[in-house]
Amino acid sequence: MQIDVFTLVPHAFAWMTEQRPLAAVLGTELDLRLFSYRDFTPLRSGQVDDDPYGGGAGMVLRVDVVDAALQAVYGDEPPRRVVALSPQGRQLAQQLVEELAAEERLCLLSARFEGFDERIVEHLATESVSIGPYVLSGGELPAMVVVDAIARRLPGALGSEESARVETFSEELDRGAEYPQYTRPAEYRGWRVPDVLLSGDHGRIETWRRTQSRERSLS
């Protein structure tokens, strides 16, 4: 899969590319390309944004700058899904992550300050996506959230394929919550791990886990 992120701060992604799951799939299952709008702007001095028409605070990312960047990278063949990251977009959920992960190519557009000139959202993007009902200062963290959520679904990203198959929001758990997990020590300050998990009886453990998952999903 190829994911392209357009941003004003490509170096913000450096930390992420060194960590699993991204590091495990970069160069094999995932080609992550980071583009700076400033490298493509037709304006002088690297200008990418401008004052809002009608007045008001902040700067708005220009449509001609984003168009120039997309044209330079894709010509007339942009990916099927060009996602503008915006607090006003469709809220990200696991099913949307799975949809996006099924694409061969994906483009993420991020903005800063006052956000996008609306014509970018209307004409250059195919959709807009929000990572939650709150406003962040820029689209870099949202882009990283989307990339991480997709990357961990790619083959080889996690130590075990089982981790992504059976986890919170997975089909395997009817899109509900995962059961509680425990590790050693079996008892700590009087807090004991449930006996069933120490029983070695895989049938009982499985039943207990399914029940726990269902109960947590209802609450």
Ligand X SMILES: C[S@@+](CC[C@H](N)C(=O)[O-])C[C@H]1O[C@@H](n2cnc3c(N)ncnc32)[C@H](O)[C@@H]1O
Q: How far is the CB of 134 from ligand X (least distance, A)?
A: 6
- Only segment of 36-44, 66-74, 133-141, 177-185 that touches ligand X (CB under 6 A): 133-141
Q: How far is the CB of 56 from ligand X (least distance, A)?
A: 10
- Say which residue the tokens 């990283």 belong to: 144
Instruction: Please count the residues of this chain forming the interface with ligand X, following the rule CB under 6 A.
Output: 20
> Binding to ligand X by residue 147, rule CB under 6 A?
no
Q: How far is the CB of 5 from ligand X (least distance, A)?
A: 11
Contact pick of 44, 45, 77, 134 for ligand X (by CB under 6 A): 134
Amino acid making up residue 38: R
What does the chain come to in residues?
219
- Only segment of 15-23, 94-102, 106-114, 158-166 that touches ligand X (CB under 6 A): 106-114
> Binding to ligand X by residue 79, rule CB under 6 A?
no
The residues in 113-132 that bind ligand X, with binding defined as CB under 6 A, are: 114-116, 130-132
> 56 burial class (0-12, 13-18, 19+ CB within 10 angstroms)?
exposed
Separation CA 142–CA 19 (nearest Å):
17
Q: Count H helices, E strands: the chain?
A: 9, 9
Written as six digits, the tokens of 213 are: 């998952």
- Only segment of 36-44, 63-71, 73-81, 136-144 that touches ligand X (CB under 6 A): 136-144
CB atoms within 10 A of CB 4: 21
Contact pick of 3, 35, 62, 86 for ligand X (by CB under 6 A): 86
> Binding to ligand X by residue 135, rule CB under 6 A?
yes
Separation CA 147–CA 131 (nearest Å):
12
- Indicate the residue among 134 and 188 with the shorter CB distance to ligand X: 134
> Binding to ligand X by residue 37, rule CB under 6 A?
no
CA atoms within 13 A on the CB side of 151: 25
> Binding to ligand X by residue 112, rule CB under 6 A?
yes
Q: How far is the CB of 161 from ligand X (least distance, A)?
A: 29
Assess contact for 13 and 144: CB atoms under 8 A: yes
**Per-residue contact string for residues 149-178; x = within reach of ligand X by CB under 6 A:** ------------------------------
Pairing of strands 2-7, 127-130: unpaired
Contact residues for 93 (Cβ-Cβ < 8 A; gap 6+): 169
- Say which residue the tokens 């992504």 belong to: 164
Q: Which residues bind ligand X (CB under 6 A)?
A: 85-88, 110-112, 114-116, 130-132, 134-139, 142
